[in-house]
Structure 1
Amino acid sequence: MTKTPQKKPGNAAKAPGKGSAGSSRVKSSTRNPDANARRQVAGGSTNDDVAAGYESAELRSLHEAERELFPPASPVPGQTWPTELPSPLSSSPDRPHVHASGLPPAPVASAPPAAEGGRNLGWMADLKLPDFPIRWDPRLVRYLEFFKDDPRGRSMLAIWHRRSGRYRTMVSTILRRKSVPEDLFWIAMVESGFDPAARSPVGALGLWQFMPETGKQYGLLQDRWVDHRLNPQLATEAATEFLADLQRRFGSWELAIASYNMGYAGMLGVVRKFNTNDFWTLARLEGALPWETTLYVPKIMAAAIVGKNLSAFGLSEDKMEPPVEYDEVVVPPGTALSQVASAIGLSTKEIVDLNLELRAQRTPPIDPNDKAEQKAKGAPSSEGEAAVGYPVKVPVGKGALLTQNMSKIKKNYVASERYVVRFGETVEQIANARGVASSKVAELNGIGPGEVVRGGTVLLVPAAKGGTVAAPTTSDKPVAIVPSDVFVYPDRKRVFYRVVTGDTLRDVATTFHVTVDEIRRWNEIDPAGRLQEGMTLQLFVPPDTDLSKVLSLSENQVRTIAVGTEDFFTYWEGQKGRRRITVPAKLGETIEIVGKRYGVTPASMERINRKNRNEVLKEGDVVVVYLPANSKKADPGAQADDPFAPEPLGPLPTPPAPGSLP
């Protein structure tokens, strides 16, 4: 199902010790939800306050079937919405009564209309109902018939029913503990097909398909090391709180479930626009709810009814898969999951599948002095802990073996320490400062080809000998090319910044506390263009600007050269083994004739002098010629290397990952 960026929930690691995704041992101490954000979602106090993307093949198939089951998504303009089906439940007092807050009276019981094919719906009267309100809407009935009678629907249900065993106990335990209807468990089926690695095209991730921002609000950590949206237990805790907050905001489970799909801000706007808080009314109004949302609520209801009536849908004989269970063992920061697998004689994939939240397939660096970070990442922080590490999940029964073989991991463990990348710093620069190859730093941190590491990223780097890192030295100051205009600010200091891949003018301006327009003027930059790696920007910043987290150079650390000056040409042409000379033209000569005298091609002479090769010069006109640095005054007709002859490009560098570009 396509999600809007307003909705989705994140992934996390459990505390050390034996755990189970199907166990009742559920801990929430490893998450730090934003309480104010939760109150904003809930529109006031939350329940807690009062009490103290890959879409599976089955989901794709369901979405395709929906387009057959529900054409069109809305009535043709000018026509009325199809008559609702009557409730298949009798009004007998010994039968359960279906209710929903704010709904209009149920239609009078009668046979289904002829337009519906005269189908017999009597079998629905014996169905057990879930623990949240049900409305016998035609879409709900259509879903139930699809799941019962259509081979595609039966096949999907069989797969999902078996797979649900992996997380049923764990999810139900959390829902029950939070006083939320346990049958909301089936939202996870519709969201991900019970696949904790599911990813949607819009960036929703995990069992409950959280979007990044919502996940962060509900305490699901996301950085280059971990993404707690991929942790089934922590994502379930967050989803439960999110659903509870939505219900508290809207007062009905229909709107809460619909808001989980389309975003609560969007739902608020729709309710206010159409001046009704009835989901079923909104589902009928033109331009109110997205088509997917009008189907989402009855689809959840249908799945919950199926879960209560396995025999009626032919699922009673299908056995569910066993719950996902595991042991947890704390290993050092930077430990590769392949090392863990090797230590206990399993494949790397088996360990990766249990630790999906570890994006680099390696445990993250953790600041031993930062208790908040230890708590967020699930690291042990109790008194007397020998060393800070990260809890890794392994199959049940393998925890003791991993602890026993921990020496094998530590034997190959490279002494490392936590390092926060400065803005503008590259992996190559970090590696050079440590005296190691950049490939070693990349391997230690699981940095893939083309991945750009941005400022603020936490990396593991080889420990510096003696406890300090020597700054790189060079015999010559780096050169900064600046415009010919001179800027003077008595109340500011000039610094220089070397652009890295992915930088934008806005990022640079924010980091140095200046404006985009100022950077444009100081460097003759087109704000619509993309900054290129290797460019150097001059910046005039307030004297109290904190640059400790930025890789920049002060004015006395660089050699500045203005564009177009003699120094400029001497520097750049000297880099290429050339020297620049000027010669006076003779009467009637062209730049082509002058160039031929020094062995320079007409095309190069045009580029150097910005004149047409056939333009007749006046006597004494100055003509610029580039010559090899070691050449003497050339004789007429002598040949010199063409300064603008094509040069071999050499191997192409690794392109940056698309996501790292602005």
Structure 2
Amino acid sequence: LGAGEPRLEASGLPPSGLPAPPVQAEETRDISWLRQLELPEIPVRWDGRVVRYLEYYKDDPRGRSAVVSWIKKSGRYGAAIRRVLREQELPEDLLWLSLVESGFDPTIHSPAGAAGLWQFMPEGARIYGLTVDRWIDERLDPERSTLAAARYLSDLRRRFGSWELAFAAYNMGYGGLLASIRKYNTNDFWELSRLEAGMPLETALYVPKILAIAIVARNLKVFGCDELELDPAVTFDKISLGSGVSLQSVAAATGAGAPEIEALNPQLVAKRTPPLPVDARDQARWEIRVPAGAGARAAKSMPKLLEREPKLERYLVRWGESLDDIATFRGTTRWTLQSLNGLRPGEPVRPGSLLFVPAAEGVGVAAAEHLLANSAPLSSEAKPVVVVPAQRFSYEGRRRVFYRVVAGDGLRDLAAVLSVTPDEICRWNALAPGASLHEGMTLQLFVPRSHRYDGVFLLDEAEARVMEVGSEEFFAHFEGLKGRKRIEIAAREGDSFSKIATRYGLSVGSLERINQRSRRSVLMPGDRLVVYVPTARPDDPPPVEPREDEVRVASAEAAGPVDDGDKAAAAVPVKPA
């Protein structure tokens, strides 16, 4: 090379000094049949991986079986997908990317969180106009998700300039592919896919597989699929319905089974049309698919069926509210709310979520709060118990309230809603800043008196029975719930943890836990310990400080044998507690 000319520093291939595996001699393959194949609209490079896929699908029984299954499945959604691709002026062969992604199953979910025919992740789906929430997941809607995928693929093709790179970006992510292009300084997919760590192996095989299947679909006779009967296309009618209509009612109106209606509408994950947004001014309508030919009958039957359905209202979940709280406010049950809203057992409801609740006059949050404000004050015993640290706080211009943690609450989000800081919440409640909040905890908060918290379920100080940790009231309450009481005792001469545990009906482990003291520690007469005993048991005499001579005798015994002069003193018993 001359001065200033480019020099090859690295090829991306293993160093030549590494031992190479012996090359196995193989029979010369006849690949002349490839020249007869009709090619797809997508440009094809005869890379070795593409050829090997084609040979596998043509000559291997497992490959032929897979191709037969795929081509048959394409009958269900193939025509609808091709129509969308034509409308978006894209190659119809992009259909086969959906096959590789999902096997043409519109309800499939990946462990990573992707879903639907085109395996969109939630955020990517929202970017391309799909609704993904607890009521509707349009990734599962074959029509809507195909339109979003067509737009996404069109964008990738425009950004990268080739379909191979567009497919690679669809699989490994736009950012990942762009970083690889910049790192290796090449925008040729086939080159990148051969370089060490150029891209994930899955992506390096993903693109050739799509191209190979697209070629197979154009040459069904060559691959033994020309006489296949495709699965019937999914056909349907559509009817327009308002908010809160269950798919069970739609099934009744069409005379079809509920599973059939649910299969036609997989995007309705709660099996009911969703509630209108809080600020909605117009009555939104949703298009629901029904079996082909049943649309007119369903549209005629629905009004009468809806008259017999229970009337529903929307309910906006507040901070600090659980499903049980809402059920109590609305005079209904947890099971009813789960059924109306398609909630799984144990699934939490988060602040700001809209739920359906049975409509009934005089119930709801406002009515419940009015009743609470105007009813007779609760007795001390009836108030909810709140446990707080022993340290006390007082702030001018603030009031103390209590917030019960529900599943999913985070410290920072909660602090922002309540106009306080995370550090303040930790200080007021003896919390570790990095630890999680757990459902059932109750936090004491000192919030500005001037602020309104309509969207938060708070308990005022007068409505709670507040106990300081470790106080007599604290132990009397919590041990009383177990039929026990807390008493303090003094150890006797010769006592051990085992003897005291047996005397008071406790395990040695419980005695250790209560006193935070090892069972191996030596107990001296008069040492104070705490035990929990049945409430009905008479109290022991109060602990008495041992006299000086008792302590001296006990110390002498612990030290070893005593002489005759001390035997008389040693015989004096140590007064028990």
Q: TM-score range by the shorter chain?
A: 0.7 to 0.9
In structure 2, distance between residues paired with 1:77 and 1:547 = 67
Please give the secondary structure, in 2, of the residue aligned with 1:465: coil
Distance 1:262 1:622 in 2: 67
Per-residue CA deviations over 1:510-554 (Å, capped at 9, x if unaligned) read 544555444333322345554332111223456676633332334
1:430/1:136 Cα in 2 relative to 1: closer, same or farther (>3 Å)? same
* Matches of 1:406 and 1:451, distance apart in 2: 31
Match in the other structure for 2:328: 432
Match of 2:368 among 454, 460, 471: 471
- 2:472 is aligned with 1:562: no
- Deviation per residue, 1:451-510 (Å, 9 max, x gap): 222223221111141475422647243222111122344465543221223444455445
Give per-residue Cα distances to partners, 1:295-325, cap 9 Å, x unaligned. 1112111122222222222222223333222
Residue 114 of structure 1 and its aligned partner are, at CA, apart by: 10
Matched residue SS, 1:184: helix
TM-score normalised by L of structure 2: 0.79
Question: Which residue identity lines up with residue 401 of structure 2 in the other structure?
Answer: V
Number of the residue aligned with 2:246: 336
1:109 matched residue in structure 2:
none
Task: Provide the C-alpha distance between the structure 1 equivalents of 2:153 and 2:197, rounded to a whole number of angstroms.
Answer: 25
In the alignment, the residues of structure 1 paired with residue 485 and residue 539 of structure 2 have an alpha-carbon distance, to the nearest angstrom, of: 12
Q: Does 1:553 align with 2:463?
A: no
Aligned counterparts of 1:553 and 1:397: Cα–Cα separation in 2? 56
Distance in 1 between residues matched to 2:54 and 2:498, nearest whole Å: 88
**Paired letter, 1:553:** L
Q: Which moved more, 1:524-533 or 1:258-267?
A: 524-533
The alignment's C-alpha RMSD in Å is 3.4
Match of 1:211 among 118, 121, 126: 121
Deviations 1:374-403 (A, max 9, x none): xxxxxxx6xxxxx65543211111112222
Aligned residue in 2 for 1:14: none
State how 1:375-386 maps to structure 2 within 5 Å: none
Which whole-Å deviations, capped at 9, do the CAs of 1:330-374 have from their partners, x for residues lacking one? Answer: 345333323322333222221111011121223322248526xxx
Which residue of the partner structure matches residue 19 of structure 1? none
Report which stretch shifted further, 193-202 or 286-295.
193-202
1:366 touches 1:389 (CA, 8 Å); kept in 2? no
Determine helix, strand or coil for the equivalent of 2:139: coil
Letter in 1 for 2:383: K
Instruction: Output the CA distance in 1 between the equivalents of 2:201 and 2:211.
Output: 17
Q: Which residue of 2 aligns with 1:420?
A: 316
In structure 1, which of residues 135, 143, 147 is the aligned counterpart of residue 57 of structure 2? 147
Instruction: Give the secondary-structure state (helix, strand or coil) at the position aligned to 2:138.
Output: coil
Q: How far apart are the structure 1 equivalents of 2:212 and 2:507?
A: 79
Q: What residue number does 2:552 align with?
A: none
Distance 1:544 1:424, change over 3 A: same
Task: Note if 1:178 corresponds to 2:75.
Answer: no
**What is the distance in 2 between the residues matched to 1:333 and 1:484?**
51
| SS, match of residue 254 in structure 1 | helix
Match of 1:452 in 2: 348
Kindly indicate whether the alpha-carbon contact (under 8 Å) linking 1:591 and 1:606 is maintained by their aligned counterparts in 2: no
Asked whether the equivalents of residues 13 and 195 of structure 2 are also in contact (C-alpha less than 8 Å), the reply is: no
User: Where does residue 461 of structure 1 map in the other structure?
Assistant: 357
User: Which residue of the partner structure matches residue 22 of structure 1?
Assistant: none
Q: 1:534 to 1:591 in 2, by over 3 A?
A: farther
Which of 401, 418, 426 aligns to 2:297? It is: 401
Mapped contact 1:505–1:516 kept (Cα < 8 A): yes
Among residues 38, 41, 59, which one is paired with 1:128 in the alignment?
38
- Displacement after TM superposition at 1:329 (Å): 2.1
Other structure's SS at 1:346 match: coil
Which letter maps to 1:550? V
Structure-to-structure mapping, 1:10-25, within 5 angstroms: none
Check conservation: 1:512, 1:541, Cα contact below 8 A.
yes
- Answering whether residue 54 of structure 2 is matched by residue 158 of structure 1, we say no
* Unmatched segments (≥5 aa) in structure 1: 1-73, 83-112, 372-380, 382-386, 637-662
Q: What SS does structure 2 have at the residue aligned with 1:229?
A: helix
For the pair 1:361 / 2:258, whether they are aligned, the reply is no
* Residues 282 and 626 (structure 1), Cα distance of their counterparts in 2 relative to 1, 3 Å cut: closer
The structure-2 alpha-carbon separation of the partners of 1:607 and 1:150, relative to structure 1 and needing over 3 Å to count, comes to: closer
User: Is the 2:245–2:272 contact (alpha carbons within 8 Å) kept by the matching residues of 1?
Assistant: yes
Match of 1:119 in 2: 29
Identify the residue that residue 294 of structure 1 maps to in structure 2.
Answer: 204
The residue type paired with residue 336 of structure 2 is K
State the distance in 2 between where 1:162 and 1:267 align: 33
| Closer, same or farther: CA 492–589 of 1 in aligned 2, 3 Å | farther
- After TM superposition, the structure 1 = structure 2 runs for residues 257-276 of structure 1, keeping only pairs within 5 Å, are 257-276=167-186
Q: Does the CA-based 8 Å contact 1:591-1:602 persist in structure 2?
A: no
Q: Which deviates the most, 538-547 or 145-154?
A: 538-547
CA contact (8 A) 2:128 2:148 kept: yes
Aligned pairs, number: 516
Mapped partners of 1:592, 1:184: distance in 2: 76
Which protein has the bigger helix share?
2
Q: Which amino acid aligns with 1:419?
A: Y
Query: Which sections of structure 2, spanning at least 5 residues, go unmatched?
Result: 1-11, 543-577
The answer as to whether partners of 2:327 and 2:337 remain within 8 angstroms in 1 is yes
Give, as a single letter, the amino acid of the residue that structure 2 aligns with 1:471. Answer: A
Contact 2:81 2:146 in 1 (8 A): yes
C-alpha separation in 2, matches of 1:79 and 1:162: 50
State the AA in 2 paired with 1:403. Answer: A
- Inter-partner Cα distance in structure 2 for 1:593 and 1:158: 75
Match of 1:571 in 2: 477
Partner of 2:405: 499
C-alpha distance after superposition, 1:567-624 (max 9, x if no partner)? 32233334444444556x48748597997999554746655455578854555x6665
Whole-angstrom CA distance in 2 between matches of 1:425 and 1:245: 43
Residue 246 (structure 1) aligned to one of 134, 156, 159:
156
Amino acid at match of 2:226: S
SS at match of 2:76: coil
Residue identity (%): 47
Distance 2:541 2:102 in 1: 79
1:428 partner letter = D
Query: Which whole-Å CA distance do the structure 1 matches of 2:513 and 2:278 have between them?
Result: 59
Which one of 89, 97, 101 corresponds to residue 187 of structure 1? 97
- Say if 1:218 and 1:489 are closer, same or farther in 2 by CA, change over 3 A: farther
2:79 pairs with 169, 175, 178, which one? 169
C-alpha separation between the residues in 1 aligned to 2:136 and 2:232? Answer: 26
Residue number in structure 1 paired with 2:569: none
Matches within 5 A, 1:617-636: 617=524, 624=530, 626=532
* Greater relative contact order structure (CA < 8 Å, 6+ sep): 1
